[in-house]
Amino acid sequence: MTPIHIDNLDVSYGETQITHGVTIDVEEGGSFALVGESGSGKSTVLKAIAGLAPEWRGTIEIFGKPRSHGIDAGFARTCQMVFQDPYGSLHPRKTVDATLMEPLNIQGLSDHNERIAAILKDVGLDNRFRFRYPHQLSGGQRQRVAIARALIVEPKVLLLDEPTSALDVSVQAEILNLLKRLRRERGLTYLMVTHNLPIVSFLCDRLAVMRGGRIVETADAENLKKGHLQNEYSRELLRLSAPPAV
């Protein structure tokens, strides 16, 4: 059963239709990238899956289960999301501990202390950080907390919305390594939105290039590495992100 099956998805905000007939399949344990520039509709697809953009037509299935248009607590156990801006995605008045406690309370999970300690260790934060407030953490540490919050309910699918674009290069490398390791250890399925092709090359095995709300090309990451993209626009993106000889 495919973790993410999206067929002919049209998402709208009020009168404006953002995406047109988006079709994606992500296999179990896979890591799929939606690539495009701002306004291409790539984040909108993610929001529709998450239930944050309820106006859509088409099919969204997570492990064969049709997705409802809202958010329900059961879905939360299967699919979680990590946001772009680590400064906006943590409640400024809650400690790391309180932030991680909430999903456990909502889902009615027991062993709070053990689970929080374990997940913090897993994302590479030691116990000193557990009772800090977000303003006492660096950007990379906040993003680790955000990842811990997403993973503490043990979902199978993780939606990643430009998870490193707000971070410094050296911190980005740490977070990318972390995401790669967690996917391997926990058998997670990733759907990541990004504009950065080298990141796709590092973390993903398939990608879809979006423009103006449509997918213009779906390809294997191998083809990206070799520079074998077919669509003209994809090739343009590829040319722009090829670093000049350094």
Partner 1 sequence: MAFTDMRNWLLDESPASRRQARWGRIFRISLAFRGNALAMVGLVIVLALIAMAAFAPWIATHDPIAQDTYARLRPPSAANWMGTDELGRDIWSRVVFGARITLAIVILVAVLAAPAGLLIGAAAGYLGGWVDRVLMGITDIFLSMPKLILALALVAALGPGIENAILAIAITSWPSYARIARAETLTFKNADFIAASRLQGASSLRIVVGHILPLCTSSMIVRVTLDMAGIILTAAGLGFIGLGAQPPLPEWGAMIARGRTFILDQWWVATMPGFAIITVSLGFCFLGDGLRDVLDPKSGEKH
Partner 2 sequence: MSAPLLAVEGLKVTFPSPSGPVDVVKGISFELGRERLGIVGESGSGKSMTGRSILGLVRAPGKVSATRLEFDGIDLLKQGEKAMRKIRGARISMVMQDPKFSLNPVMTVGEQIAEALVAHKRLPRREIAARVRAMLEAVRINDPDRVAGLYPHEISGGMGQRVMIAMMLIPEPDILIADEPTSALDVSVQAQVLDIIDDLVRNKGMGLILISHDLNLVAHYCDRVLVMNSGRVVEDCAASELKNAQHPYTRGLLAAQPRLDETRDELPVIDRTIWSAA
Q: List residues near partner 2 by CB under 8 A.
A: 37-38, 139, 168-174, 176-177, 180, 195-199, 201-203, 224-227, 236-238, 240-244, 246
241 binds, among partner 2, partner 1, none (CB under 5 to 8 A by kind): partner 2
Closest approach, Cβ 224 to partner 1, in A, equals: 29
**Could you say whether residue 165 binds partner 1 (CB under 8 A)?**
no
Stretch near partner 1 under the rule CB under 8 A, chosen from 78-86, 163-171, 174-182, 216-224:
78-86
d(CA 61, CA 113): 34
40 binds partner 1 (CB under 8 A): no
* Residue 130: how many other CB atoms lie within 10 Å: 16
CB distance 21 to 57 below 8 Å:
no
Are 209 and 229 in contact, with CB atoms under 8 Å apart? yes
* Binding-residue total with partner 1 (CB under 8 A): 40
Instruction: Write out the two tokens for 42.
Output: 């790539």
Q: CB of residue 198 vs partner 2: minimum separation in angstroms? A: 4
Position 219, amino acid? A
| From 6-14, 123-131, 165-173, 211-219, span contacting partner 1 (CB under 8 A) | 123-131
Pick what 72 binds: partner 1, partner 2, none; C-beta below 5 to 8 Å, kind-dependent. partner 1
DSSP 98: H
Which is nearest to 215 in space by CA: 13, 69, 75, 25?
A: 25
Residue with tokens 């967690």, as numbered in its chain: 182
